[in-house]
Structure 1
Amino acid sequence: MSNHSMDGVPFKPEGPQPLVREIPDAEIYPVEALGPLRGAVEAVQGLTQAPMAIPAQSALAVASLAVQGFANVETLGGVRPLSLFALTIAQSGERKSACDAPLTSALRDHEREQSLAQREATESWLNRHAVWKVEREQILKETKKGRGEKRVAAQADLEALGKEPEAPPSPDRTVSEPTFEGLTKLLATGQPSLGLFSDEGGQFLGGHAMNNENRQKTLAAFNDLWQGNPIRRTRSGDGHSTLYGRRLAVHLMVQPSVARIFMADPLAVDTGFLPRFLICEPQSTIGSRLQAKIRHDDMELEAFSSRMRRILEMEMPMDAETRELQPRVLGLASDARELVAAFSDAVEQVQGAGGSLAHITGTASKIAEQACRIAGVLTLWQDISAYEVKMAEMEFGVALAKFYLSEASRLASAAIVSNEIDNAEKLRRWLLERWAEPEVLVRDVVQLGPNPLRETPKARAALGILEKHGWLVGLEGGAVVRGAARKEAWRIVRRG
């Protein structure tokens, strides 16, 4: 923002200017609102000493995968899937993988056991298919020899032979960095309910599925899956096909630098892809994770895993031929509906111009539905045969939705910060906190500075930004710094 004196002559404000707006700390995660998931989440947090939000995200995503094939949930806008998309932002060393492992262990064991069972099923299928193929070829061979009645008989023989035996479906329930084609193929030939789970989510966000050529169709497919819409694919080799009744739960764990780029992507925001995520960036606990604080609660973790195994071993309601899921509808109790309606109205009133949520209308517009989805997941985790979301679960859903809405609002300002500004902020902190000399050179930054600035062009760009904002003062060429004349150097401003 420019400033002007009384006579119209512009001047620079005194002192260095901030590079980024200060972002308030994250709110405390409302772990009590996790209901039947709370015990396992607290057990993982006690074991890892990581921020509570990290195991909470894992637990919600895993529970969503487990139950999304059995029911849809009633919302204010109609019936919707129980699929949840979660994005957890945490720096390296925050024990993301350590939090995820105990909550996904039963899922991984199930996949491993089913994979072994599929080997036998595949061998049996190969034998049936070989016999079918030989018989079909023999019928076709006889058809070529005959005419009239023989061809009619051959046609009857082909119909009696039946369809080509289908290969047993893939038992995999999770993927980590699929392409759009790979995901749709797996949904077509494998399980109709999948989870995209990755503790290195940057590999997916920066991978083939999200490159410039594929990003738009990938985002559209994920939006359709979240919404419960059919997935349509057209390929030159396979023709056109439509997949109905498929579900996808998502949990991506990413580092802040990756998240900033993703959250600032206009396509991800404008298509509604980003607003479908439950996003959080918890306050770091690094430096306070002392051995004396570690708590073990094996009973809660075993109870969680046992519940997971029981649900995974249940047959999902689906069409035997198309494998299309046929979930029942999980209704809302009258008082639960009133609660989420009041929540929706309160959010709506602050989305208009000048409102506190005007900058995240995409997320805010979906948050009441998110509350219903979360409440539905908690309901079925507690009782897989339930047919209604009660008031208690909706209170949990609304409380968690409020937390995620707060996080989305808090992080929105961080999302618009460019990578260059982010690097400059890293350099500013490094200069003020770790660099003792009064001047700095480009080579100082390249050799000793923050890792993202170990290349001369990036270092010089960051130094230029700091000079522009008053944190550095450029010295004239030939100035003596540390006993030698320097062509390029800056004096550090340590006030302001």
Structure 2
Amino acid sequence: MTMIQPKPFIEEGPQPLLREIPPGDPYPVDALGPLRAAVLAVQDKTQAPVALAAQSALSVASLAVQAFADVETLGGTAPASLFCLTVARSGERKSGCDKLVLVALRQYEHDKTLEFQIDFARYEAAKKLWDARQANLIKAAAGSGGNAIKAQADLEAMTPPPKPPVEPSRTSPDPTFEGLVKSFFTGFPAKGLFTDEGGSFFGGHAMNSENKLKTCSGLSSFWDGSPINRTRAGDGVGTLWGRRLAAHMMATPVAVRPLLADPIANGQGFLARFLITEPQSEIGYRLRDGYDPKSDLALNQFGARLTSIISTEPPLKEGTQNQLELEPLAVNGEARKLLWDYYCATEQAQRPGGDLSHVTAHASKSAEQAARIAAVMTLWGSLDAREVSAEAMSNGIALAQYYLSEASRLADAAVISEKTEQAEALRLWLQSSWTEPEILPGDVAQLGPNGLRETAKAKEAMSTLAQYGHLVQLPEGTEVRGRSRKLAFRVVRGS
């Protein structure tokens, strides 16, 4: 929904505070290829919008396969990493969708964490022995005579210190950017930023005024597959090569609206790297009792495939513990022609006055998004695949088109300020719960929506509604309910 500027009350009646965004296109479920059965199973069990289930499955599949190959695009190579942003109201079962597709991953992380704790205890013991031997040799080498010479030789011949085991966690919920980077130095080289509390991330430390630019540019570099440089007091200087990051951020509309209009998030191209969807709500219509037993089978098969992939050792650069060395999936023949035709269509639509001229950042990346999606589905089918088929590319393009249409639709949703949200909440409350012809700020503060239980906030929301014609301010001293009132309003019904 889009905020419009306040207008004085005019003769034709109350004006809307918010403009409804038109419904989006149906989600192209048939384009999900090997993920289709799992997505329909999640939708069947949760009765959530199918787009929510698809976001969960796509992001988890990307998290799993991004460690095994990149993909050719029209402009070079790109990671098989997807950033997904799901916008839905509280109660839409966003987290329920994620939970169903993450079962196998959570079990894997649990089992591997137990193994890691044992391995880390062994490492610590070995490191203490190595440190003690080094200290003894240094002390002996500082002396004189033959023993010192021998100690010096032994010191130079010492094997390198033992390396700590790689921390096995595959997901990092709600981290600071620094925390995420730090986890890549010691952990598995392909991770996922997954959270069903995206509002906490977007409104938290990582995206405050001091850190927003750093977070947006840093996460954009991860999406690009670029090396990540870190320079911090106490931690020293380091560069991360061969790391991959997938993401699935879930948030409510009111938490995402400011981000959609944020000049840093848009100017950096940060949001354009996300596959964004805000499906039509199913709340109030989820009345089916039970689900198809075949859904459990589909989810078990999804979990088994996920376990198989994340249990496979990824290709690492020789001599490293956690630096990926990836070859790209080829995009040849008909697959490349399909991608080129799609690129040309989206490029032409960005011309002044074109259908995509208002979302050029998203449109410019849509062909690459199509290639990435095609790569995810290709690798999900087989980690041994060496090229993207025309069928996979066709599916990738269909999904990229959907997400581009969503970006275009939601681009019309400018930021809704907290004041406007509160005024809209008051308007709805007046319609549903207030029957008196007049209303006072004290009535709102005492009985109104929770966010307006302060007189100052109540007055501000009432002033906004008066600007739009939903309330009419009465002259000072007007008698309301037997008393003269300094500030009172008449409710305009039918608004």
Q: Distance in 2 between matches of 1:299 and 1:73?
A: 31
Cα pair 2:378 2:388 within 8 Å, conserved: yes
Deviation digits for residues 5-59 of structure 1, max 9, x if unmatched?
xxxxx99463222223331012221111111111011111111111111111110
Cα pair 2:9 2:467 within 8 Å, conserved: no
Mark the CA change 1:152 to 1:371 in structure 2 (over 3 Å): closer, same or farther: farther
Which residue of structure 2 aligns with residue 129 of structure 1?
127
Which residue of structure 1 aligns with residue 447 of structure 2?
448
Mark the CA change 1:134 to 1:396 in structure 2 (over 3 Å): closer, same or farther: same
Which residue of structure 2 aligns with residue 21 of structure 1?
19
**Greater Cα offset, 421-430 or 219-228:** 421-430
Amino acid at match of 1:196: L
Deviation digits for residues 88-126 of structure 1, max 9, x if unmatched?
111111111211111001000000010111122112212
Which residue of structure 1 aligns with residue 266 of structure 2?
269
SS at match of 1:415: coil
**Root mean square deviation of aligned Cα:** 2.0
What is the aligned counterpart of 1:219 among 205, 216, 219?
216
Mark the CA change 1:200 to 1:227 in structure 2 (over 3 Å): closer, same or farther: same
Which residue of structure 2 aligns with residue 256 of structure 1?
253
Amino acid at match of 1:481: V
Q: Distance in 1 between matches of 2:251 and 2:457?
A: 23
1:321-336 matches, cutoff 5 A: 321=320, 323-336=322-335
Amino acid at match of 1:427: L
State the TM-score, normalizing by the size of structure 2.
0.94
Which residue of structure 2 aligns with residue 285 of structure 1?
282
What is the aligned counterpart of 2:206 among 200, 204, 209?
209
Q: Distance in 2 between matches of 1:454 and 1:294?
A: 42
Q: Distance in 2 between matches of 1:416 and 1:157?
A: 67
SS at match of 1:258: helix
Which residue of structure 2 aligns with residue 59 of structure 1?
57
Q: Distance in 2 between matches of 1:424 and 1:163?
A: 66
Which residue of structure 2 aligns with residue 106 of structure 1?
104
Deviation digits for residues 357-398 of structure 1, max 9, x if unmatched?
222211111111111111110110011111111111111111
1:78-157 matches, cutoff 5 A: 78-146=76-144, 153-157=150-154
Q: Distance in 1 between matches of 2:149 and 2:347?
A: 68
Amino acid at match of 2:468: H
Shift of 1:66: 0.2
Cα pair 1:49 1:294 within 8 Å, conserved: no
Amino acid at match of 2:448: G
Q: Distance in 2 between matches of 1:418 and 1:361?
A: 25
Say yes or no: does 1:230 pair with 2:204. no
Say yes or no: does 1:472 pair with 2:471. yes
Say yes or no: does 1:401 pair with 2:400. yes
SS at match of 1:359: coil
Q: Distance in 2 between matches of 1:11 and 1:157?
A: 89
State the TM-score, normalizing by the size of structure 1.
0.94
Which residue of structure 2 aligns with residue 5 of structure 1?
none
Shift of 1:150: 6.1
Mark the CA change 1:417 to 1:169 in structure 2 (over 3 Å): closer, same or farther: same
Which residue of structure 1 aligns with residue 426 of structure 2?
427
Deviation digits for residues 334-368 of structure 1, max 9, x if unmatched?
21111121112111222233222222211111111
Which residue of structure 1 aligns with residue 28 of structure 2?
30
Say yes or no: does 1:72 pair with 2:102. no
Amino acid at match of 2:109: E
Mark the CA change 1:138 to 1:311 in structure 2 (over 3 Å): closer, same or farther: same
Q: Distance in 1 between matches of 2:300 and 2:352?
A: 49
Deviation digits for residues 243-292 of structure 1, max 9, x if unmatched?
10101110011111111122222211111111111111111111111143
Which residue of structure 2 aligns with residue 392 of structure 1?
391
Mark the CA change 1:466 to 1:137 in structure 2 (over 3 Å): closer, same or farther: same
Q: Distance in 2 between matches of 1:343 and 1:449?
A: 51
SS at match of 2:358: helix
Which residue of structure 2 aligns with residue 436 of structure 1?
435
Amino acid at match of 1:189: T
Q: Distance in 2 between matches of 1:427 and 1:103?
A: 38
Q: Distance in 2 between matches of 1:28 and 1:435?
A: 38
What is the aligned counterpart of 2:47 among 36, 46, 49?
49
Amino acid at match of 1:321: T
**Greater Cα offset, 39-48 or 214-223:** 214-223
Which residue of structure 2 aligns with residue 492 of structure 1?
491
Mark the CA change 1:122 to 1:460 in structure 2 (over 3 Å): closer, same or farther: same
Mark the CA change 1:293 to 1:29 in structure 2 (over 3 Å): closer, same or farther: farther
Cα pair 2:466 2:473 within 8 Å, conserved: yes
Say yes or no: does 1:158 pair with 2:126. no
Cα pair 1:446 1:459 within 8 Å, conserved: yes
**Greater Cα offset, 410-419 or 134-143:** 410-419
Amino acid at match of 1:273: F
SS at match of 1:73: strand
SS at match of 2:16: coil
